[in-house]
Structures are given as structure tokens and as C-alpha cells.
Structure 1
Amino acid sequence: MTAVTLPPGPTTPQFVQALRALTTPRRGMHRMRDRYGDAFTIDVPPYGRALVISDPGEVKQLFLAGADAADKPDRNLGRVLGPGSLFALVGEEHRRQRKVLAPPFHGRRLTAYEKIVEEETARELASWPQGRAFATLPSMTRITLNVILRAVFGAEGTEFDELRELLPRMIRLGSWLTVLPEPRTGLGRRGPWGRFRAMRRDYDAIVARLIAEAERGDALDEHDDILALMLRSRYDDGTGLSRADIADQLLTLLAAGHETTATTLAWAVERLRRHPAVLDALVAEVDAGESALREATILEVERTRPVIDLVGRQVRVDGFSVGRWTVPKGYVVAVSIALIHDDESVFPDARTFDPTRFLGTRPDLYRWIPFGGGVRRCLGAAFANMELSVVLRTMLRDVTLLPTGEPDERWHSRGVASAPARGGRAVVRRRTAAGLS
């Protein structure tokens, strides 16, 4: 047996650590770093004992580890998204499905979705009140949900209305179930898992109708929506995705490509209102038809306000080495995104919101990690950043976002994601055709 070498960590009972992780995830991580250093051991459900790291070299080593040594945690989003989800798959099957699913999120196909994003954003902006404060998160959620539904299914109809009503409730409940242990004895249909399974049955029935409708069409090859692309996709051996796998992957895309992007947009509003010089420069850039500062601002929002707290791997071999540590089989090694993003040795003046740090440069994907890393880096990262860019461009073009001297909005845990506690509040005025308020 290989000797285990792990850093110290809190010794409080698991339920106490779990309570702190759910209520103050970001502040709790910083407190533990202050006490124990850049690595520590925690004990929280659903993972149990886990090593948390934030040293860039150790993070890179973890992300580059082979799937036979360290792969996705057994308990993750796959529990609610289904066994065919990328979150649930491991090893070669994960690689095969990822290869099949990659084309819609790159190149020409990605550009084709920009018009959808602009249309949905302009439609939502038309409903924004002028001159009084309101939370933008609900609006951003509607935009991203409509975008992902149109991009996935390519049209409107009864099924889309049903999904618009069902998915927010389903994703909200699923986000909490992901971070909680599944009880040994359920509460039947009235318990949270029972309610989620009932929602999943409704979702599966809707998707089955959409797949049947798409397969009956005569022009499947002409469609750019993701469902059509998945139905046409083939593995190297010529076989296609099963209908069950398609349903799981579509739910994965809908969940992962919806709430996290909406939350990042709300954080962007929160950040820009408190940095009027950046806001003014962005408006001028939009009016000039340019985008470099906007792209850098998106990277900086994702660095300073990452919506996901941790990303990790579960050790599959005895005595897995990562930097200074030797980790036993079964442990989760989790990367604290907030700690590495706030590290002064990684990002000088890290607590300052400064988009210019990314002007003319691309971030190191082992240090800037809002989308995770390695072979499990979020497949939709490019889609998300395209959506963020188009929404911000359209917003800054159509309305004037008024700055504020109010304190920063606090972090609020929503299960998987962390959102601004007041929903990214804004006060806006319409811009005239000449670009003046």
C-alpha cells in the first residue's frame, strides 16, 4: 500500500461542514485557505472526504491525469441528468460521445446561433422598466432558456412552451439534489427525488415527441438545430446515439447551457454598474462596432465571479499523486475555482475587477478555469461566451445601464451555482437612435 499524504483540514462533523459549504461556500474556502494554506482536506456530502487544491501546478497535473487514474466523481450532475449524460459517462464512452457532440459548438454552426441570441435579448429588453431598480437574473434566465431551446430544437411549438414551463423548476430542484446525499429511503412521490423523477418523466415524454417529429421530417439534413445534428451524428463505427442517450444529452445541454450563463450575465450587470469607467468604455466600443474589451470583460467577470465553486476528479487508483499529496483510492480531488482565481501569484491585484488584464491575451486554461479543465472542460464554453458577448452587446446598444455606488451584491448559493444575492439589480434608460439617453 502506498503511504497517504494529505494536508490538514477542519475536524468538525460532516453535517457542520456541509451546512457551511451550502450557506457560505466562497467565504468558507477563503477562511480555510487562510488557516491551512492552498490545500486542505474536507468532509462534505455528497463526496465525503476530499482533497481541495488551488496550486496551479497541482491543478494542471490533475486535469492532465488519465481517466484510468482520476475521472469524474461518482456523485455529480449525472445523478439527475441521466446515465447517458456527459457528466455520467467515463473513459472511452465519454470520449466517443464528446466527439459526436462537439461540432454544434464550434465554427460556422456557432455563428449561426448569434441571430437567435440577439432576437431573444432584444425581445426581453423591450420589457425592461425604465428609471427604477429591478433584478436582471429572471430576465437573463428567460433569454438563455429561450436561446438554448431554439438552438437545441430549432423551432417553436407546444412542446417548447411545455419545456419553458417545466425546465426552470426541474433545473432548480436538480441543482439542489446534486449537492445533497440521496436518502436511503425516499418519501415517495411527495419527496424531492420523487418530484424530480415525475418531472423527468414529463421531460422524456416531450423529447420523445420532438424526436419522432424530427425523424418524420423530410429535410433533417438541412437543419442546424442540435437535435437534428445529434440524430444525424454517427460514431466511428457508423452507429448513432440511442434515443435515451439523446434525451440525457439534451437535458445536459439545456441545464448546463442555461442557468450558469444566465447567472454570469447577472453578475456582469452587477460588476459593470460598480465600474463606470469600464461601462463607458464598453458602450463606446459597441457604438464603434468593436469587441476586444467586451471579450476581455467577459473573461474578467468569469474570473472574479465564477458561478461554480468546485470542479473535481475521483481517484480510481491506490496512491494517486498530485503535487505534494498522495491520495487514496475513492477520494475526490477538488479544485477551488475561487481560490485560484483570487490568488495574487496567479492574477496580480486579483481582487480588482480589471478587464484590461485580458486585452490582447488569452487566459491560461489551467489557471483561469470557470469551465473546468482537461478532457472534462465544459463542451459548451465557446457557446456560452458567444451568448454572453451577444447579450451584452445588445444590452449596451439598446439601453443605458446606470452606474451605482451601492455595495457589491453578496454571493447567494443556488445549489450548483452561486448568483448575486439581489439578482444583479439594474436601473436602465432607453437609448435613442443617436445613442444618447
Structure 2
Amino acid sequence: MTETVIGQETDLPLQVPPSPRIPKVLQAAAFVALRRPMTRLLAPKYDGAFTLRIPVFGNVVIVTDPAMAKQVFTTSTDDLGNLQPNLSRVFGPGSVFALEGADHRKRRKLLTPPFHGRSIKNYEKIVEEETLRETASWPQGVEFETLEPMMRITLNIILRAIFGADGAELEKLRRIIPPWVTLGSRLVVLPTPTRDFGRFSPWRKLADYRREYNAVIDFLIEQATADPRLDERTDVLALFLRSTYEDGSAMSRSEIADELLTLLAAGHETTASTLAWAFERLSRHPRVLADLVAEADADTDGAELRQATILEVQRARTVIDFAGRHVLAPSIELGQWRIPKGYSVMVSIGQLHSNTDEFPNPDQFDPQRFIGNRPNTFAWIPFGGGTRRCVGAAFANMEMDVVLRTVLRHFTIETTSKPDEKWHSRGVAFTPKKGGRVTVRRR
């Protein structure tokens, strides 16, 4: 059925996709608790899109069709802005997540250089060093979780990339960032309370983490500013301190703090989760694993299969399941529908990655589908799409490539016939429920 809404700035009827015939309170509860299976259940019943009423976000159109996803990602940012609310609730108002339009474009120009081209090549040695450091203590012949080791590896990598060195202050960040990110990712999908529930509330804990973080960043900025070799440094903090917008203005300290937090949080959890899924998948696919070992052992820089495997892990075990936008224009066209101002549009990444037209036999884990065949930009979207595609996508890909190569060269991963690990929601990201458990032996 089609729902008709009266336009806010015109009297034209606005046709939005149909909504399931279940009470809105049940829609809301099901989406909050079971958004992935709920979307998978509803998608086949509707023609590429359906509408839900979701807590925090309000009226939301869920998109499951690649053609409509392309419309979402190519629509002007003046018409479709960032999802509201978004992760800036955790990262702060100076984060790129909080910015719209021209401000967002200017900030991305400052963020791009450290995570592309030659800069990424310079970080490969750091990735290998941190992988070797963490794996040195891996148990042999005993099954263990890979998720937490991957979290430590990716956090250490992004810390070194951002700050360029180690020390007591970075040790403080290693302590507070993981629990802060976990707590923040759970709270970001919940309504913000209108009153203070005291020192034992999770929102107060979130604020405490932020105060501790700000103190560390203030110290590190002071230290970097006083460094006589600041102009020679290649770390991200130094680049931020040296960078200016086209009008000559610079990022404020609070903006730098918010942006560094964005990189620290978004730059390690999703990559680590994908790597844990990679180990879970490879331990259950011996032929793929054997071919990857042979490729890693070869005396060449070949990585075609490893790259294809990374793409397939991101498709088959999507860590972030939605990419969202908010309608700013009086209305936008989406397929046969017209969506009014104030609605949100969420592209279901998991459903696009299961599209049978784009990915035949989608339930089959098959890296060969990406050998010599780059995926459709609007059907394979683990990093989102359009102007808000993850600025660190190339950096994350490099991390996963080097971590996998290093582990494959130094360890034998034992295969298993155990059932696939189930999905576990950490709030924003999905991880293997048992942590991506594997058994390894040093080669």
C-alpha cells in the first residue's frame, strides 16, 4: 500500500513507500532489537523500499535496491544531508559527521591527504610491526578469539599514524578508547535522556571518557605545537596543525580533538571487526585459505586473491549495515516515490550485498567473484557511498591486506567444520558472536 503525505511547502501529494501492517510500536521495538533480521525478512515483500517509524530517527525509508541506492548517493547534498542524529553525538560537533554542505566538503579536503597515495604506503611498515608485536604472544594449538587482538592491532596502528610516536599519553588513549567506543556505539541509537541520571548512568560515563580524552589531546597538541620539527612530521596531528582552509583559517583545537576522535574510533573498530570475520571465514574455507597462503609465500607483490577475499568478507559479513541520509529539500524523488522533507533514508548495505542480480549465490563465500571483476559502486558499499563515503577506506583496505599477509606468512590457520559464527551487534557494528575464534600454529 502507498502512504500519502501532504507536502510541507507545496500542496502536492507525496507518495512514500508502504509500511508493514504492524503497530508502529512493534516496528520500532523490532528494528531496535533485531534490525538486521527484520530488514532481511521485509525486503522481499516490498519493491526496493519500505517505510518504518524508528525511535530517534522518526520516519525512515529503508532502501534495498541498488538503483535506488545510486539515487541516494548521487542526490545533491543540498537536498539529502547527513542522517540526523548521527555519530557526532559521540564524536562532537567538530567531527566531519556533524558537518553539512560546503563545510563538509572543505573538511574532507583536509582529511584526504593523510589517507591516500604515498601517505598510505608510508604506514605499511607500522601495520606489519604492530601485527608482529601482537601475534608474538598468540597461543598455539589452542582456539582463541581474534577480535580483541585485531582491536589492539588496529588501535595501535591508528594511534601511531595520528600521533607519530608512543608514550604515556597514548597509553591513556589505549585504555579509554575501546570501552568508550563500545559504550558510545550502543548509546548512539538510543534517545538522549532529558535529565541527568547520576554518576552511575552510561551517559555520565560517556561524558567522563570525553573529559579524560580532552585532557590528553590538549597535552599532545601543546607538545606538537612546541615541536621545532613540526614542519617535518608526517603524522596526522602535525598535518592537521599545519593545514588551512582556502581562506587561510585553520581548524580550532576543539575541531581537531573531535576529528581525531572520529579517526580513532571509526578507524579501528570496523577494520578490526572485518578482520575477525576474515579469520572466521578462512578457517571454514580450506581451499581459499590454501590459495591465500601460496600467494602470500610467493616472491612477488601479488595480492589479487587477498584483495578479492577482503572484498568478499566485506560483502558477506557486512560490519556496518546501514548508510543514512536526511531529506532537506521539500521533497526528493526515489524510484517511483516522492519522499518529503524531514524523512530519513537508510540504504540497507546488507541487503544490497545479498542482491542476487549483482552477486549470484550471495550466501556462498566466494572471493573468485571479484577476481578481475570490480564490484558495482552502488551495490558493494561497506564504506558507504557518495560524498560521505568513508575517507579512510583506502587506509582500512591497506591495513587488512598487510595484517592478513603477515599472519599468513607466520602462522598456519587450522580449518574447522564448526558451524558459522552468528552475528553479534555491538550497537553500530556487527562482529562474530564468538569473536572470530581460530586455532593457529607458528610456521
> Could you tell me which amino acid in structure 1 is paired with residue 59 of structure 2?
R
Cα distance in 2, alignment partners of residues 9 and 23 from structure 1: 18
2:108 to 98, 101, 106: 98
Whether the 8 Å CA contact 1:9–1:32 is kept in 2: the answer is: no
Q: Deviations over 1:101-141 (max 9, x none)?
A: 10000011111111111001011111111111111101000
Instruction: Using the TM superposition, give the Cα deviation of residue 293 of structure 1 relative to its aligned residue in structure 2, in angstroms.
Output: 0.4
TM-score under structure 1 length normalisation: 0.96
Pair 1:420 & 2:440 matched: no
Residues 18 and 424 of structure 1: CA distance in aligned 2, closer, same or farther (over 3 Å): farther
1:183 to 183, 190, 193: 193
Whether the 8 Å CA contact 2:48–2:68 is kept in 1: the answer is: no
Please state whether the residue corresponding to 1:345 is helix, strand or coil: coil
Which residue pairs with 1:435 in the alignment?
A: none
Pair 1:279 & 2:311 matched: no
Pair 1:297 & 2:309 matched: yes
Instruction: Using the TM superposition, give the Cα deviation of residue 60 of structure 1 relative to its aligned residue in structure 2, in angstroms.
Output: 0.6
Instruction: Using the TM superposition, give the Cα deviation of residue 12 of structure 1 relative to its aligned residue in structure 2, in angstroms.
Output: 3.9
2:64 to 27, 51, 54: 54
Cα distance in 1, alignment partners of residues 247 and 322 from structure 2: 36
1:117 to 127, 131, 149: 127
Pair 1:32 & 2:42 matched: yes
Cα distance in 2, alignment partners of residues 25 and 131 from structure 1: 37
Instruction: Using the TM superposition, give the Cα deviation of residue 384 of structure 1 relative to its aligned residue in structure 2, in angstroms.
Output: 0.3
Whether the 8 Å CA contact 1:3–1:319 is kept in 2: the answer is: no
Which residue pairs with 2:3 in the alignment?
A: none
Instruction: Using the TM superposition, give the Cα deviation of residue 172 of structure 1 relative to its aligned residue in structure 2, in angstroms.
Output: 0.7
Instruction: Using the TM superposition, give the Cα deviation of residue 73 of structure 1 relative to its aligned residue in structure 2, in angstroms.
Output: 1.4
Cα distance in 1, alignment partners of residues 22 and 178 from structure 2: 35
Which residue pairs with 1:311 in the alignment?
A: 323
Instruction: Using the TM superposition, give the Cα deviation of residue 353 of structure 1 relative to its aligned residue in structure 2, in angstroms.
Output: 1.0
Cα distance in 2, alignment partners of residues 397 and 18 from structure 1: 47
Cα distance in 2, alignment partners of residues 186 and 348 from structure 1: 51
TM-score under structure 2 length normalisation: 0.95
Q: Deviations over 1:36-93 (max 9, x none)?
A: 3431111222211100112111111110111110110120101110001011111110
Q: Deviations over 1:166-188 (max 9, x none)?
A: 10111111101111111222313
Cα distance in 1, alignment partners of residues 293 and 158 from structure 2: 27
Whether the 8 Å CA contact 1:54–1:336 is kept in 2: the answer is: yes
Q: Deviations over 1:285-339 (max 9, x none)?
A: 0001321100111011111111001101100012211111111111111000010
Q: Deviations over 1:337-389 (max 9, x none)?
A: 01011010111121111111111232222111000000000000000000000
Please state whether the residue corresponding to 2:60 is helix, strand or coil: strand
Superposition map of 1:229-268 within 5 A: 229-268=239-278
Which residue pairs with 2:340 in the alignment?
A: 328
Residues 37 and 322 of structure 1: CA distance in aligned 2, closer, same or farther (over 3 Å): closer
Cα distance in 1, alignment partners of residues 179 and 24 from structure 2: 29
Pair 1:352 & 2:364 matched: yes
Pair 1:373 & 2:388 matched: no
Whether the 8 Å CA contact 1:153–1:227 is kept in 2: the answer is: yes
Whether the 8 Å CA contact 1:402–1:428 is kept in 2: the answer is: yes
> Could you tell me which amino acid in structure 2 is paired with residue 265 of structure 1?
L
